[in-house]
Amino acid sequence: MTRGALISDYPVGTWLDASNFSPRNQIISGLSLAVVVLEAGETSGALITAEFAAEQGRKIFAVPGSILAPQSKGTNKLIRNGALPLLMPQDLMQALNLPRVGAQKSARKIFPADEVEARLMNTFGSEPMHVDEILNQTRLPVEKVSAALVMMELKEW
């Protein structure tokens, strides 16, 4: 991996220990827009993560389950206490306003500022590309590509 981050309360090399789970879960909930609990028993660590999320002002979703299933006791309790029931993925997307993000990205692709941006957008795929490959495929001068890439980055493309 060439990029990434390691975020921990503990130094590198710390051995796995159950007492480290709670602080780890607090970091995870703090970095998240929302917490989704799929299954949780009455004393599940997922409930601790949901509690951290609530303290941090995050949205909490829980998938409801049978009142007879032990693995649903925690999720059903979360819903009873105010978590949003997650019945389908669209519920999560809508609550986090994620469809709008997708629409904004689509609009940016539809409305490039000029011909250079349009050519660049048609060149990009789902994988990162080296600038030399972009130059090769577009056959545009390096100064135009560089300037357009900077502007596209500023536009958060």
Q: What is the pLDDT of residues 95-111, one digit of tens each?
A: 887 766 555 565 555 56
With respect to residue 8, please indicate whether it lies within any of the assigned structural domains.
no
With respect to residue 68, please indicate whether it lies within any of the assigned structural domains.
yes
Q: Which residues contact 73 (CB under 8 A, 6 or more apart)?
A: 40, 41, 42
**Alpha-carbon span 5 to 112, nearest angstrom:** 32
User: Euclidean distance between the first and final Cα of the chain, in Å?
Assistant: 23
> Percentage of the chain surpassing pLDDT 90?
38
**Alpha-carbon span 16 to 13, nearest angstrom:** 9
**Judgement on whether residues 83 and 108 belong to the same structural domain of the protein:** no
> What pLDDT score was predicted for residue 104?
59
Written as six digits, the tokens of 129 are 């590309």
- Number of domains forming the structure of the chain: 2
pTM above 0.75, yes or no: no
- Computed over every residue of the chain, the mean pLDDT equals 85
**Judgement on whether residues 23 and 90 belong to the same structural domain of the protein:** yes
**Residue range 118-146: mean pLDDT, rounded:** 88
Contact 37, 75 (CB under 8 A): yes
